[in-house]
Structures are given as structure tokens and as C-alpha cells.
Amino acid sequence: MKAIVYSKYGSPDVLEFKEVEKPTPKANEVLIKIHAASVNAADWRLLRADPFLARLHTGLFKPTKFPILGSDIAGQVEAVGKDVVQFQPGDEVFGDVFKSGLGGFAEYKSACEDELVLKPTNISFEEAAAVPLAGLTALHGLRDKGLIKPGQKVLIGGASGGVGTFAVQIAKYFGAEVTAVCSTAKMDMARSIGADHVIDYTQEDFTKGEKRYDLILAVNGFRSIFDYKRALDVGGIYVMAGGDTAQLFQALLLGPWISLFGNKKMGALTSTPNQKDLLFLKMLLEEGKIKPVIDRRYSLNEVPEALRYLEKGHAGGKVIISISV
């Protein structure tokens, strides 16, 4: 099969489009013919080993654990292991395959049964591939870490990106009053997915305004933890989802102390994919409560170009890899 492979850390230039061995499913695994995958910030961060702590997962000096990146996939089941009970050949599925070693930027993937759910019939493979990592990150940040409640004032930083577009819609589902922070060009899109208020960060600094928020979900950080603290109301919660090494250390080292000695909670999100929450997102998709926003589509051999585009930080929604079937 064809796949995008990397054997050293670096820019997208180190990626190779080559023939590799087609996987064989283990007893508890499902072999999927991939129709679509999606690109996440986690992919280029793993590729560049940024933050440096990523090397603890992938290999200290070179990537030895995940030769093929890509965690979000959607496709059709081709074969199942002898212990698989939830799926059969022909089923259309989607999921986050991090636990089984990534591998989404390829024509086939053997994934654990519990990483997948059936694809809703009302969305395409490309839309399904957009959901898992970004949707679960948004859900876990708002519901589990942020303890979102109806009527709260919620601010979403990075609202026009992959996680952000899901976060706006999920926050609205939970009954919040949502303020989206994005660039001028993405303001109309943010309104179209349900944001009650939109702040153009090129024109307005929300941390210096009078409005305070019960919950702030900051996708990839961007600002100092103290800036976000200033924008929180008393008893408010700040959640950082992703970010570079400096932002991560701020949230991990300073966040607990601010939370302990102050009246605001600050911290970084650790989101672990699980089938139960993926089924919850599937329900929201089927009911039309959330809809994936797709910015651009690339073919499998164009993954390096897709990563370069995403890394610039200007994507409006998800970047999709369409794989020929």
C-alpha cells in the first residue's frame, strides 16, 4: 500500500510517499480501507518534535514509534480479527487511531475495535474524518475540564480552527453564551456555526476589555496564562488545549499554583480518545447539532503540503486528506 512515512524529525520536507507493507489485523483489530483522513496540529508537532516532550512518546533522537502519522480516519472495514464483535466487512466507520499507533496517512490501517464507531449515514467520509481528534478535544475541554453549564459565558480562542469550530458548536449544545475569537476573514464563519459574539483579535484585545468569562477554552494557547487569567470571572476556569513548549510549561507549572492560591482555575487539557465519547459525537452529528467545517482537501501524496498549510495557523476548520478508493 502507499503511505506517507517519516524516519527523522523535521519539516514536512522529511516526509516520504512510498510503498509499505499492508497491515494484517490482530485478533482484536479491524482492517480499514481508508477513504479520508484529517490533519491535526498534533501531526506537525510530532513531526517536528515540538514540544520537546513529544519525543517521550515517539523516540528521543528519531521517530521509532509512529512511522506513519495521522490519527483521524474514516473508511470501510475490509477484514476483522477473530475476536472482533462490533464490526464486519463492509461497515463504514470512523475514529481516532492514536492508541494503535497512528497510521492514518495511508491506504489501509489496522485499528483496535474500540477506537472506531459506525459512520453516520448523513455525513461523508471526509466529514467523518474531520471529527475524532478535534471533536473529542473540544468536548473534553468544555465538558470534562471546563465543567461547562447552561447560561455560562464561554470564550473560545482559536475558534475558527479544527478544534475551535467544534468547540463553538458543542458549547452552544450545552446552552452557553459563546464568544468566538478569530481573524477578520473568519468572523462570518464563526457566526454561521452559532457564535453569539465574535471578536476580531487583529482589532480587539479581549483580555483588556470589561467583559469577564466563566470558561475560556484556548486552542493552542497563543497568549500568556496571565492574560487569560485577567479575562476570567471569579470562579472561572481556563483550559489550554495544545500549544508550544513555553505555553505548555506555563499551564502545567503555573496553572496549579494559580488555582491553589486564587479564585480561578487554570490548567492544560489532556484528552484521551474513547469510544463512548465518540458515540456521543456521532449522536450530535446524526441530530445535526454539530457539523464539520472543512477548509481544504488534499490527496495522499500532498500530505506535506497540507501540513505546511495547517502549520501556518490560518485554516478555517479542518484540512482533509482524500484517499482514492
Q: How high is the pLDDT of residue 153?
A: 99
Q: How high is the pLDDT of residue 254?
A: 66
- In a domain, residue 217? The reply is yes
Query: Which of 39-48, 50-59, 173-182, 264-273 is most confident?
Result: 173-182
Q: Is the pTM of this model over 0.85?
A: yes
Among 55-64, 228-237, 299-308, whose mean pLDDT is lowest? 55-64
pLDDT-based confidence at 64, cuts 50/70/90?
Answer: confident
Residues 197 and 239 in one domain: yes
pLDDT-based confidence at 265, cuts 50/70/90?
Answer: confident
Residues 123 and 47 in one domain: yes
Q: How high is the pLDDT of residue 38?
A: 98
Handedness of CA 208, 192, 279, 85 (dihedral sign): negative
pLDDT-based confidence at 246, cuts 50/70/90?
Answer: low
Q: How high is the pLDDT of residue 244?
A: 62
Residues 107 and 47 in one domain: yes
Q: How high is the pLDDT of residue 52?
A: 74
> Residue 260 pLDDT more than 90?
no
- Helix orientation angle between 162-173 and 132-139, rounded to the nearest 10 degrees: 50
Q: Which residue has the cell 449522536?
A: 283
Query: pLDDT averaged over the chain?
Result: 93
Alpha-carbon distance of 53 to 190, in angstroms, equals: 33
Question: For position 180, which CATH number holds?
Answer: 3.40.50.720
Residues 142 and 253 in one domain: yes
Residues 26 and 48 in one domain: yes
Q: How high is the pLDDT of residue 325?
A: 62
Residues 93 and 149 in one domain: no
- In a domain, residue 60? The reply is yes
pLDDT in tens, 75-130: 999 999 999 999 999 999 999 999 999 999 999 999 999 999 999 999 999 999 99
pLDDT in tens, 314-325: 899 999 999 976
- In a domain, residue 288? The reply is no
Full domain range(s) for residue 167: 133-268
- What is the SS3 assignment for 198? strand
Percent of the chain exceeding pLDDT 70 equals 93
User: Distance from first CA to last CA of the chain, Å, rounded?
Assistant: 12
Nine-digit cell string for 71 = 490519527
- In a domain, residue 111? The reply is yes
Q: How high is the pLDDT of residue 247?
A: 67
Residues 97 and 140 in one domain: no
- In a domain, residue 280? The reply is no
Residues 8 and 114 in one domain: yes
Residues 40 and 125 in one domain: yes
Q: How high is the pLDDT of residue 253?
A: 67
- In a domain, residue 122? The reply is yes
> Residue 222 pLDDT more than 80?
no
Neighbouring C-alpha atoms within 13 Å toward the C-beta of 4: 26
| pLDDT, mean of residues 165-193 | 98
Q: How many domains does the chain have?
A: 2
CB 73 within 8 A of CB 94: yes
- In a domain, residue 274? The reply is no
Q: How high is the pLDDT of residue 63?
A: 84
- In a domain, residue 282? The reply is no
Residues 19 and 124 in one domain: yes
Kindly state the DSSP code that residue 177 receives in the 8-state scheme.
E
pLDDT in tens, 268-298: 888 899 999 999 999 999 999 999 999 999 9
